[in-house]
Structure formats: C-alpha cells, structure tokens
Structure 1
Amino acid sequence: MEAVDALEKMAPVLLAFGCGTVLARRKVVPAESSKVFADYTFLFAVPCFLFGNIYRSDLEALFDWRAIAGYAAAAGLAVVLAGALSRAFGVRDPRGLALRIMAAVQVNTAYFAVPVFIMLFGNAAPIFPVLLLQVCVLSLVIISIMELGRPDRGGSLRTRLFAALAASLTTPVVLACNAGIALNLLSVPLPGFVLDSFAFVGDSSSPVALFALGLHLGGMGLTLRGTTVEEMWIVAFKCVGFPLMTLGVARYGFGVEGDWLHYLVLLAAMPAPQNLFIFAQRYDVAVDMSAALVVKSSVVTLLLLPLWAQWATA
C-alpha cells in the first residue's frame, strides 16, 4: 500500500516533467527556452520557497545536532569517494568534478522528499536541517567552484577566489537561507501578505523547474539504452551507496537511532537534485549529462522507494 501511495504522490512530478517533454518534442515550446525557466527557478522561485519555509519553521525543534553531524559526516565521506571515482573516470575539470559530486551526494528535497515525508510521517519538517546543510555548505562550495571556473573570470588566483566566494555568498539561494535563519532567530515579525507573496512565488519552483527539465530532455532526447557507465555508477552511488553509507555512519559512528535514523537514510535515498540541471545549464557545464542523471536517478528512486519506505516505517 505504501508503494502505491508513494507513486501517487509522484503524479504531479510526472505531469510537470512530461508536459515539458511533450511540448518540446512537438516543437510547441522551443527546447532552448528551458534556460529561461531554469534561471527563473534558480534566481527567484527557489529563494522565495526557501526563505518563507525557513522563516516559518521552529528551528530549535528541528535541529538534532547528533543526527545532523552524522549526516554531515556521511556526506563528507561520500564527497571524497565520489570525487575519487570521478577522477578515476578521467574527469579533471573542477567544474565537472563538482557537478558529479553534487549528483552523487546532494538530494532532491523539494520535489521528492517533501511529498514522501508528508505521506509517511505527516510533515516535512525533518527535511529542513539537511536542506540548510545542502544550501549553506554544499551548494556554496559548488557555486564557488563554478564561479571560479568561469571563462570570463580574469585576474590573479586570489582575486578570482574572492570574486567567486563573493558571487556564491550573494547568490539568491544562499541569501534567502541566511535571511530566513536570521529573521527567524531574531523573531523579526513580517506582515502576512509578505509571507503569502513569497509562498505564492515559491510554490511555482517545483513545477517550473521540472517543466524546464522536460523541455531540455524533449529537445535532446533520452533513452536508457544510451546510459553510460559513468551515469550508471553515479546513479547507483546516489540511490544505494549514499543511503547505506548514511545508515552506517549515523548509526555506528554517531549513535543515531529511531526516527532520526529513518529520516536521514530516507533523505539520502532521494534522487539527484533538480538544482543539478539548473546549475549545469546556468554555467554551461555537462548539461545533457546532468539532465539525464536527474531523470534516471528519479526513476531508480521510484523503483526503490517502496523498500526504503517499508524500512523507515517499520
């Protein structure tokens, strides 16, 4: 029964993604316009979503520091292993390495984890500590590497490093998270219409991002037959390796048990994040591979989700 419910929760995801694919294949909407939709999501809709939800959350109740430390340690180990495997496959470009690590370690929270957690546990609150870790740490590093490697960046290494760090810290996604945390901790009151406005725009982030991905894939075409060995190991690492690593590190390294152990492992089992495609398209690095990894890891996650859900609710 859990499997059927989980698949039903994925119906909106399939609708938004499938609509973009069909419209691009029929040339109703140009596939190249996917970048416009991706930029809207990355620069505006996702920051609105994050700010509003973080501001409204009870941060003190959400942060189990032992559980978060366990997940962070597992993610750090996964970053090292994914980077080593990528180099073994001949990837030397830092931006290419960063994207592959992002695909193998970061998780799709807004588009997969939220509906799954609401279905299984009644709310998605446990997601936000990991979401903050991803945005304020992992994504910050990824953005810095992307900005540092931009071909239009000139000057000395030190100058480019500071410019890249400044660009990453002033990215709307990072600013939104930091602002949400600061205003929440300071108990700064915001008018209801302001929060409603952020929620209105933020609610569009999931469908628009998935629509953009569908447009891109509708234009390029995607078949399982064309899956490369590199794509296979990244998907396997993301959907099986990383959650098992999280289970081992969190349970035996940090003594995390009970509900939080289930939360962390289930989160780690979510597919590669939609932002992988958005970052790749924004910085013009491995766009086709990133789009393929998002979709293929999502398919594998859907197939494995009944097993993870049964374990997490046992």
Structure 2
Amino acid sequence: MGSVATLEKLLPVLLAFGCGAVLARRKVVPAEASKAFADYAFLFAVPCYLFGNIYASDLGALFNWRALSGYAATAALAVLVVGLAARASGVREPRGVALRIMAGVQVNTAYFAVPVFITVFGDAAPIFPVLLFQVCVLSLVVISIMELGRADDLADGHADGHAEDGAATTGVGTGKRLARAVGASLTTPLVLACNAGILLNLVSLPVPKVVLDGFAFVGDSASPVALFALGLHLGGLGLDVRGTTREEIALIAFKCLGFPLLAWAVCGGLFGVGGDWLKYLVLIAAMPTPQNLFIFAQRYDIGVDLSAALVIKSSVAALLLLPLWIQWAA
C-alpha cells in the first residue's frame, strides 16, 4: 500500500523526465538545450524554492542536534570512503573526485524524498535540516572544488606556451584562485538563498507576501525543469543499461544500500539516535543521487554522461528498494 502510494506520488517525476527524453529522441527539442534548462534550475528556480521554504519553516522544531550531528558524521565518513575509492580507481582530477562524492553522499530531497515522506509520514518537514546541511556544507565543498578546477582550466588556457610564468606564480596563484573559488561558491544563488532564508527566519524579518508568492511561483518550476533537462540530455545521449560500468554499479550500491546502513550504524549505534528520527535519517540516506549532480556536471562541464546515468539508475534502484525501506521504517 505504502509503495503503491509512493509510486503514484512519483508519477509527475516520471512524466517530466519522460517528456524531455521523448522530445529529444524525436528531435523536437535539441538535446543541447538541456544546459540552458539546467542553468535556469541551478541559478534561479532552485534558489527561489529553497528561500521560500526555509523562510517559512519552524527552524527550532526542525533541528534535533543529536540526530543532525549523527547524520553529519555519517556523511563525513561516507565522503572519506567514496573519495579514497575514487582515488584508488584512478580518478586524479579533483572535480572528478568531488562529483563522485556528491553522487555517493548527497541525496535527492526535493524530487524524491518529499513525496516519499508525505506518503509514509504525512509530513516532509524532517527533510529540511538535512537539505540545509547538504546545501550549506556538502554543496559548498563541491562548488568550491568545481570553481577552483574551472579557475585552473582558465589559468592553463591563458598560460599556454608560458610555462615559466605558471611556475613562477604557482604558490601565490593557487592561493588566490582558492580564495576566489570559495568566494564564488559562497555567492552562488543556491547558497545565498539558503543563508538568506535562515537569517530572515531567525530575525523574524517580515517578507511581503507578494514576494514570497513570486518565489513560490518560480520555485515550483525547479523540479520539472531540472527533470526535463535531464530527460533532454539522456534522450539525445541514450541510456544503455547493459553498458553500466563497474564504477556506476559501485556508486549506486553505496548510495542506495551502503549509505543508509552506515547512517543506521553511526546515528543509532554511536550517537544514540532512536525513534522517529532514526527512521527519518535512514530513509533520507536511502534516497537516490540528486538531480543537482547533473546540473553541477552540466555547469562545470565534468562527467556529464556519468552523472546523468547515475541520477537515473540510482533513482530506479532506490525505487525498487523503497518498499523494503518503507517496511523497515514502518
């Protein structure tokens, strides 16, 4: 019953994605347009969604610090595991490692967890603290690495044929690029929207209803546009299930099985989290890789095909495993 209701909640997700895939396959909309849709979601729609929801939330009721500390410790351990595994498999590009960490540790909240929680618990509020942690901590780290990597690419392009100049400025230049990367990550619309929502919520500064309605109107388009962009990309590329690589299998297995089991062990065993919050955290950890992975990959031009495959395949795996996790949580 719970799994059937969950599938019904996820039908809009399948519709938005499938429409993009069909239109791209029939060449009605060019697959290259997926980047424009992804940029719209990353730079505008998702920040509007986050600001409005965070501003309207009861932050005091949502933050169970023991539970969140346990989840943060779980995520830190998972980052270490995925990062070391990526390096051991031969991935040397820092942006490539960061992308794989995001695939294995971050979860699909807005597009997957929300309908699941509404179905199982009747409330999606427990998701927002984890969403804040993802955006303000995990995403900040990933964005910093991506921005630093892009700065390195630009520097290499400008310094092509001038190796002596690059060697002379390696120490200072790297520090400046890192500072610029951190600054750029802190001023992205995604992070600014979350911080603004928290700040205005804490100081109880009233925001005009017409403004909040505008944010809600735009924010409601975040999920379908991101899914449509993903469908466009995969519709043009095609998705070969038989061609799934060992790396994809390992990342999907860790995301859909390893990470939730790790959350259960760390949060329940080490931090003493129990009751409903332990169910919340394990079920959140069992959610698939987020669409934001594809948006980040599109924006920073790194691992686009891998990220698209991981988002879709982890979503299918999570959907198949969902009845088991729901039964456990119930």
TM-score of the aligned structures, taking structure 2 as reference length:
0.94
For the pair shown, which has the larger CA radius of gyration, 1 or 2?
Answer: 2
Q: Give, in angstroms, the shift of residue 89 of structure 1.
A: 1.2
| 1:153–1:68 distance in 2 versus 1, CA, 3 Å | farther
Cα distance in structure 1, aligned partners of 2:84 and 2:125: 33
Cα distance in structure 2, aligned partners of 1:312 and 1:203: 29
User: Unpaired segments of 5 or more residues in structure 2?
Assistant: 157-168
1:289 corresponds to:
306
CA contact (8 A) 1:37 1:212 kept: yes
1:311 corresponds to:
328
Q: Give, in angstroms, the shift of residue 270 of structure 1.
A: 0.2
Residues 246-302 of structure 1 show CA distances to partners (whole Å, capped at 9, x for unaligned) of 000000100000000000000000000110000000000000000000000000000
Total equivalences in the alignment: 313
Residues 196-222 of structure 1 show CA distances to partners (whole Å, capped at 9, x for unaligned) of 110000000000000000000000100
2:228 corresponds to:
211
Cα distance in structure 2, aligned partners of 1:223 and 1:11: 23
2:6 corresponds to:
6
1:181-200 mapped onto 2 (5 Å cutoff):
181-200=198-217
1:109 corresponds to:
109
Cα distance in structure 2, aligned partners of 1:204 and 1:128: 19
User: Unpaired segments of 5 or more residues in structure 1?
Assistant: none
2:121 corresponds to:
121
Q: Give, in angstroms, the shift of residue 245 of structure 1.
A: 0.1
Say what the alpha-carbon RMSD is for the aligned residues: 0.8
Residues 105-153 of structure 1 show CA distances to partners (whole Å, capped at 9, x for unaligned) of 0000000001111111111100010000000000000000000011114
Cα distance in structure 2, aligned partners of 1:197 and 1:231: 39
CA contact (8 A) 1:6 1:306 kept: no
Cα distance in structure 1, aligned partners of 2:56 and 2:7: 29
Cα distance in structure 2, aligned partners of 1:306 and 1:32: 36
TM-score of the aligned structures, taking structure 1 as reference length:
0.99
Cα distance in structure 1, aligned partners of 2:11 and 2:116: 12
Q: Give, in angstroms, the shift of residue 7 of structure 1.
A: 1.1
2:260 corresponds to:
243
User: Identity across aligned pairs (percent)?
Assistant: 73
Cα distance in structure 2, aligned partners of 1:206 and 1:266: 20
| 1:153–1:59 distance in 2 versus 1, CA, 3 Å | farther
Aligned residue type for 2:154: D
Structure 1 runs (4+) deviating above 6 angstroms are none
Whether 1:100 and 2:117 are equivalent positions in the alignment is no
Aligned residue type for 2:140: L
